[in-house]
Structure 1
Amino acid sequence: MNNMLKYLFIVFLWLAAAPVVTLAQTAENATTVQATTETGNSDVEMADTLRRDGKIYVVVAVIATVLAGLIIYLIRLDRKVARLEQQYRS
């Protein structure tokens, strides 16, 4: 049970840090967009196309689903290992 709390704490820290990383990337992207606007060409055309077509949300949803699946798998695995450790001790 203690390990599960540790994993949940790590997940909450990760979620808390996500807006900070996003803000840093947004600031970096703003300077990149300004630089590419001045030169007239974009280095990441695929991302622009995904944003324009609205498919970026599908990509984000798939990534979130995969991460949620991994977190659930780790929690279940931790519970199984803890149960096996208890059986081994008895």
Structure 2
Amino acid sequence: MNIEYYIEKNIPWNKLPIEVQSLIDSSDEYAKKIKEYSIVNQLRYKDNLIRQVEKNQRAYHEQLLRYSREHYMLFPYHLSEYIINGMHD
């Protein structure tokens, strides 16, 4: 299995099988992979591992939007409720 499988299934570092942990240097490296995977795949903040990695929801969505613009991705309409309503100052 690849590491993305465990991220998709919301498996935290301490619950990963030993053989998977051995593929990753540390829990910090796993956290980086979670963040990268979440941004690239435009995952919701709620109900995903990204909540354990990035404590600031607004910062996560700003990074996600920046990545989307830089890579000419469509606006993440599935996140629009939070992005439009929740990111107001």
TM-score normalised by structure 2 residue count: 0.27
Point out the structure with max Rg over C-alpha: 1
**Greater share of helix:** 1
Q: Considering Cα pairs closer than 8 Å and 6+ residues apart, tell me whether 1 or 2 has the greater RCO.
A: 1
